[in-house]
């Protein structure tokens, strides 16, 4: 795997940083090189939360980047904030719960994909696993980590919650699975 760059952006509380951390940890556990850096500081208070992730087989250089291989934007403000990271080779993904006009979408992208993650979480699973669907979608779209490694890292991160309520484990794994399929399907269909 050559260098792969992902920008995940959402509103505070959508869990963007949590899944970025889990993905980075999963890659690290698979002996890949990984760097994860959040945007932090004042902007995050009431602003858009962005996670910058990079994966590679060899040492990774600068911690931030200009263009991502995948951008995922989970709110309309997050779309606005991440247009700059979309280039000619970028898969640009946003949630289909908010409607965007063509002028609001990035000018440059290899493919623009809308995913019904919020809707699926609310109607089929539980609103709290929305971010795990997104995490699954990242895997479906990119294969940066294996599904098994993602599950293990998820288990590691949420073990204390799973212990209290074992049903949560099932719910999270299901969300991960659904997200992965959603990502794979979108890639195949090539929706623009």
Partner 1 sequence: MQRVIGESKRSFVTGNEAAAWACMAAGADIMFGYPITPQNEIMHYWTRIAPQFEREFLQTEDELSAGFTVCGAVQSGKKAFTATAGPGNVLMQEPFGMAEAMRLPIVGIIQQRGGPSSGTVIYSQQEVTLTTFGGNGEGHRIVYSTATHQEIYDYIVKGFNVAWKHRFPVFILGDGYQAKMREPLEMYDPQDKGIEMVEPYPLLGLGGKIGTDREPSHLCNIYSLEEELYEVVLKFAAEYEALAPQIIEYEERECDQSDIIILAHGVVSRAADDAVKALRAQGIKAGYFRPITLRPFPQQQLRDAIARSGAKKMLIAESAYGQFDRLVKQEIYGETISIENLFMPGVGIIENDIINKVKSIL
Interface residues toward partner 1, by CB under 8 A: 21, 24-25, 28, 33-42, 60-66
Q: What are phi and psi of 149, to 5 degrees?
A: -65, -40
Helix (H) or strand (E) holding 5: strand 4-11
Residue 36 C-beta: closest distance to partner 1, Å:
5
Rounded Cα–Cα distance for residues 45 and 191 (Å): 34
Tell me whether residue 37 or residue 171 sits nearer to partner 1 (CB atom): 37
**Shortest Cβ distance from residue 82 to partner 1 (Å)?**
16
- Separation CA 187–CA 182 (nearest Å): 9
The minimum distance between CB 40 and partner 1, in angstroms, equals 6
Residue 35 main-chain phi, psi, to 5 deg:
-130, 135
CA dihedral 55, 25, 13, 108 (to 10 degrees): 10
Least distance to partner 1 from the beta carbon of 46, Å? 15
Instruction: Tell me the C-alpha distance between 147 and 180, whole Å.
Output: 8
The two beta strands, 111-115 and 48-56, are unpaired
Structure-token pair, residue 29: 């556990």
Nearest approach in angstroms of CB 28 to partner 1 is 4
Looking at beta carbons only, is 1 or 191 nearer to partner 1? 1
According to DSSP H, which parts of 39-146 are helical? 76-82, 117-124, 130-142
Least distance to partner 1, CB of residue 25, Å: 6
């Amino acid at each position: 795997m050559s260098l792969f760059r992902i920008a995940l952006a959402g509103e505070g509380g959508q869990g963007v940083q949590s899944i970025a951390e889990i993905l980075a940890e999963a890659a690290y556990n698979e002996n890949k090189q990984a760097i994860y850096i959040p945007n932090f500081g004042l902007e995050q208070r009431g602003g858009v939360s962005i996670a910058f992730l990079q994966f590679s087989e060899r040492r990774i250089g600068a911690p931030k980047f200009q263009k991502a291989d995948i951008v995922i934007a989970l709110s309309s403000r997050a779309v606005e904030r991440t247009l700059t990271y979309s280039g000619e080779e970028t898969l640009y993904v946003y949630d289909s719960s908010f409607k965007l006009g063509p002028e609001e979408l990035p000018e440059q992208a290899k493919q623009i994909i809308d995913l019904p993650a919020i809707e699926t979480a609310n109607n089929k699973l539980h609103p709290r696993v929305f971010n795990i669907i997104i995490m699954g979608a990242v895997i479906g779209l990119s294969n940066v980590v294996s599904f098994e490694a993602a599950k293990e890292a998820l288990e590691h991160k949420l073990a204390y919650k799973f212990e209290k309520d074992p049903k949560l484990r099932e719910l999270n794994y299901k969300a991960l699975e659904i997200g992965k399929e959603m990502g794979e399907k979108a890639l195949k269909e090539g929706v623009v």
